[in-house]
Amino acid sequence: MNKMNVKLFADGADKDGIMEMYKNPFIDGFTTNPTLMKIAGVKDYILFAKDILKEIKDKPVSFEVFADELSEMEKQALEIASWGSNVYVKIPICNTKRESTGSLIEILSNQNVKLNITAILTLDQVKTVANSLNPNQSAFVSVFAGRIADTGHDPIPYMKEALKILSPNPKAELLWASPREVLNVYQAQEIGCHIITATNSILKKLKLFNKDLDEYSLETVKMFYNDAKKAGYNI
């Protein structure tokens, strides 16, 4: 696989998996969230985060606040930002009461906190972020293209328009979040999306790029045959 124009971020909360991807020169950064951490069995949020940051100092790593009140989100964000110069603080686009975090994004961005604004699914939300960010401060704008696709809408027009909305913010990078298949990586690259974050299982499939389809078909047939044989099936 050749180096791609779109930046590849690994999404997960399993330390072994994170470190495996850290060894891959094509991986440009890392993201996680409380749900992934819960699934991975992380018990101590701070301990886990600082353990990862001991190993990864030269690539961006995103950790998310989990408070619901904006004032508490701000406190958590400042604490998380203090953990390292490569840390990006994930702020949801709203809280559970549908209150926009635009004002908090503006406050934090003006305090030189590197942000990753997350859970974005609409273009109005992208506009809110674009209007709130300090144009001189680095930020990731995470649009959940996979979740948009889950609703039956083609995410590509959304992502193209999001790029236009963010274009006046030179340091705001559009991040394609929640991809569902490796094709999304190539789609993100084709439209000029800055970043895509994906699980290790998706990222590992990049090695299949331009694989001969006849050969791939034969490998699939052999897999079915060998698995049936190992299972001892009879008709």
Question: CATH number for the domain including 206?
Answer: 3.20.20.70
Residue 226 domain flag: no
Mean pLDDT of 1-25: 93
Residue 94 domain flag: yes
Residue 234 domain flag: no
Specify the amino acid at residue 108: L
Model pLDDT for residues 128-172, shown as the tens digit of each residue? 999 999 999 999 999 999 999 999 999 999 999 999 999 999 999
Q: What is the model's pLDDT at position 1?
A: 61
Mean pLDDT of 74-86: 98
Helical axes 155-166 vs 123-132, angle rounded to 10°: 20
Distance CA 92, CA 139 (A): 13
Residue 223 domain flag: no
Listed residue (147, 32, 49) closest to 90, CA to CA: 32
Residue 1 domain flag: no
Q: What is the tally of structural domains in the chain?
A: 1
18 within 8 A of 30, measured Cβ to Cβ: yes
- 3-state SS, residue 142: strand
Specify the amino acid at residue 170: P
Residue 151 domain flag: yes
Q: What is the model's pLDDT at position 180?
A: 97
Q: What is the model's pLDDT at position 3?
A: 76
3-state secondary structure 77-109: HHHHHCCCCCEEEEEECECCCCCECHHHHHHHH
Domain that holds residue 37: 7-210
- pTM for this model (two decimals): 0.95
Q: What is the model's pLDDT at position 2?
A: 67
Residue 100 domain flag: yes
Model pLDDT for residues 160-193, shown as the tens digit of each residue? 999 999 999 999 999 999 999 999 999 999 999 9
Mean pLDDT of 96-123: 98
Q: What is the model's pLDDT at position 89?
A: 98
Residue 233 domain flag: no
